[in-house]
Chains A and B, each alone.
Chain A
């Protein structure tokens, strides 16, 4: 699974994960090489329990690999301490979750500004950039709304705005359309695609939802903890 190295922003080198030890050890992901390039949407599909989310967690530095390493912008980053990994996530990775994971007590604007708050960005700049991100996902008129007053699609777009507000080069999405109806899902997918094409972000989408193939530049399949890249014509076919 090799692509042009000049555009590679995120890479797993022989990265794998075993949970537990001894007789109780369970292999979630076999050692895998995977690369993600700037400006592309990489879709990861596979059945439940196949290891998709483990792969996403490893690439997102949320989980440490038991084998191999994760390389971000040419630097091995998977061996840092928890705080070093947190800072890398804060600055270099954006997340979009299936359950949105917005803070219920915060407005849409405050939720979007949260990563900037963690960075220590001054309040005025924080607000300006969060407004800009909300505008990009078409929610300028909902900035004061708390998550409970937003539809599922709107909540997911707020989550996308939160992921892009820090200019992180990598955006990792876990089942971003699973909780959304068809029309809303399409809006979210278009937004994600635009992040890759317009902003040059590397977008990784883990999903069961075949609608996501419509925005895929590449497709990999995870089965029983093994990652297989699918031929691009399949993607184009679905895309078409």
Chain B
């Protein structure tokens, strides 16, 4: 296990969550240090997306504690709301705002939430869009762009808020295969800039290249939490990890 000297920026401690009788998160414990890149994987329904959603308060949890930057995420006292602006989120279905242009999608958060001036917000947005080669599409509307382009815009939109952490919920699963690469490239580049990232993905090539640790979940519990070289080491592998990896490789 990696030893961390700084206090974790994200910490989940004994987090439990139920949907009615369904126990979707079971004693989830996870610490993420600043600058670390975590890949979260596991079979569908294992609770990985739910776990990520508790970090920015999109999903409530019933037991345990989730904290970001030392503050406990709770809907009740409004901390979840204040924390969200520091936690960027990229969704599977991009969820760009269809009634706003690409530029407006990137500016609305900084302008309305961070109260940045329009000029400043637009400059920031154009800088982010240029980095992902979409600056020339800034005045178009989301529906005119390809899936890969939309997802890159979604990443820019989150980055314009200058988040401390970026969460990715299966960012490439809704994409046509030929567009997966362009989105993963943007994410790799972002990781090189030192962003703290938690990525739910089954892209194992990306995981090997970028992840500091791979966390695998099954039935709501974390069953493995290892650096990639150990996670993918067939000699050491946990049989359940092996079975999962075989499954997604053959898919």
Q: Do A and B bind each other?
A: no
B residues at A contact (CB < 8 Å): none
A residues at B contact (CB < 8 Å): none
